[in-house]
Amino acid sequence: MKVTIEVDCTPQEARAALGLPDVAGLNEKLVDEMQKRMTANMAALQPEELMKNWLAFGGAAQEQFAKLMAAAGPKR
């Protein structure tokens, strides 16, 4: 015998029925914090800023970057 039960409810209703906590507030805070950090770090992702940082270290940073790219490249 096969029995099929279909439950029509929202995710919030399902969490409440299963006794799971409501994490909507926590999720909002985490998303806000991630957005703040991403916005603060956007300047570091600009090509001009990357080049300034690399050139500040001289040739060593360029050599390290080249080694990193070679190591990450396709294996032959």
pLDDT tens, position by position, 8-18? 999 889 999 99
Start-to-end CA span in the chain (Å): 56
Query: What single-letter DSSP state applies at residue 46?
Result: S
* CA–CA separation, 49 and 42 (whole Å): 10
* CA–CA separation, 47 and 55 (whole Å): 12
Question: Are residues 52 and 61 in contact, defined by beta-carbon separation less than 8 angstroms?
Answer: no
pTM: 0.42
In single-letter form, the type of residue at position 65 comes to F
* Half-sphere exposure (Cβ direction) of 12: Cα atoms closer than 13 Å: 4
At 68 the pLDDT is 80
Least confident of 2-11, 25-34, 50-59: 50-59
At 41 the pLDDT is 76
